[in-house]
Structure 1
């Protein structure tokens, strides 16, 4: 697939991305008509921007190629889990392992600390060297929560080809955006007209 050079072609957030960061991560590589692709994580700067917009990294995190690569790799594993869930198929063991590894690499729960003057308090360790590990752990934990929580039954793939995004279904809606819904309706209307003229 050709990669689009502009991010303007990106679609608005799909239903559920606001509640589930893992859904936003899965949808950060967007297939568009004409074989074009928008990858919101394709460079370290874009990956840093994506994480910053979601409160997972500071603006000056200094993302490196390896960090962006790790983020894209987790995205593919989460997409694999979402696809298996949507199709009712067993998950690839490597995808489950990748999510579990990301979740357990760093503590995501606030740990107990003790200050000699003020006493006990809780804080999440967040040294700058572990920013990406914390982001990956947060995203992986969200994916696990989504797949095992009450929203799991609403998780579905967009029903408009060539779109590759996922959403949380609301009612009968199976499209991630108005644009995809319009495209699907237009394709159905075209198919009906074609069928009518050939009969």
Structure 2
């Protein structure tokens, strides 16, 4: 499978497709869709480097612009992506949730404090703020993504979760009506494939 690199914009590396339905409300869904399988054996990974992962987090408001993300942290983000993908795939197919994926998401949920902590400084006195030192930046981002995944999987939209129905696309979306494609491009490709199959069937019958 070939790996291609897309162009970089002001908001990070561009994706080959627009966000799938539901991804604009659920960053965990957009995270899962950040590794895309395309026709011709091409794979686009929007988190393949620390800089790309940093751009993705900043674009989603999960890290400050210009933070120095290292490969270890980018790898943790990619790992959580695969665990959330496993949970979404199981939910969409009505299968039991994988235990290792549950453990990984629960671990991410507990890595960062949920409450704003009490601090003191000479210029401000006592104040409350979430703990966000650079060393905990990734913990907070992973916790936020894990919480969003948990909300998606247990909330009222969970029954609308489905995989894109146009091979080889591997993205997930929240279905609207009968639509089960993540983008117009995938829908056109699926319709073209069905039309080709019908023509080929008629040719064989003749």
- What is the alpha-carbon distance in structure 1 between the residues aligned to residue 167 and residue 130 of structure 2? 42
TM-score (norm 2): 0.91
Q: Give the corresponding residue for 1:113.
A: 118
CA RMSD of aligned residues (A): 1.8
Q: Give the match's secondary structure for 1:12.
A: coil
Residues 31-82 of structure 1, C-alpha deviations (whole Å, 9 max, x = no match): 0000000000000000000000000011121010101100000000000001
Q: Which has the higher helix share?
A: 1
For structure 2, the residue ranges without an aligned partner over 5 or more in a row are 8-13
- What is the alpha-carbon distance in structure 1 between the residues aligned to residue 194 and residue 68 of structure 2? 47
Q: Give the match's secondary structure for 1:34.
A: coil
Q: Give the corresponding residue for 1:94.
A: 100
> What is the total number of aligned residue pairs between the two structures?
198
Q: Give the corresponding residue for 2:3.
A: 3
Matching residue within 186, 198, 206 for 1:180: 186
Does residue 170 of the first structure (1) align with residue 161 of the second (2)? Answer: no
- What is the alpha-carbon distance in structure 2 between the residues aligned to residue 96 and residue 120 of structure 1? 38
Q: Check the 8 A contact 2:55/2:65 in 1, yes or no.
A: yes
Does residue 64 of the first structure (1) align with residue 70 of the second (2)? Answer: yes
Matching residue within 171, 180, 196 for 1:190: 196
- How far the C-alpha of 1:172 sits from its partner, in A, is 0.6
- How far the C-alpha of 1:122 sits from its partner, in A, is 4.2
| Inter-CA distance 118–50: structure 2 relative to 1 (3 Å threshold) | closer
- How far the C-alpha of 1:118 sits from its partner, in A, is 7.9
> Which consecutive aligned stretches of 4+ in structure 1 deviate over 4 angstroms post-superposition?
114-122
Residues 7-35 of structure 1, C-alpha deviations (whole Å, 9 max, x = no match): 55611100011110100000000000000
Matching residue within 71, 74, 85 for 1:79: 85
- How far the C-alpha of 1:111 sits from its partner, in A, is 2.2
Residues 76-95 of structure 1, C-alpha deviations (whole Å, 9 max, x = no match): 00000011111111111000
For structure 1, the residue ranges without an aligned partner over 5 or more in a row are none
TM-score (norm 1): 0.94
- How far the C-alpha of 1:121 sits from its partner, in A, is 5.5
Q: Give the corresponding residue for 1:141.
A: 147
Q: Check the 8 A contact 1:110/1:122 in 2, yes or no.
A: no
Q: Check the 8 A contact 2:15/2:46 in 1, yes or no.
A: no
- How far the C-alpha of 1:104 sits from its partner, in A, is 0.3
Matching residue within 23, 33, 39 for 1:27: 33
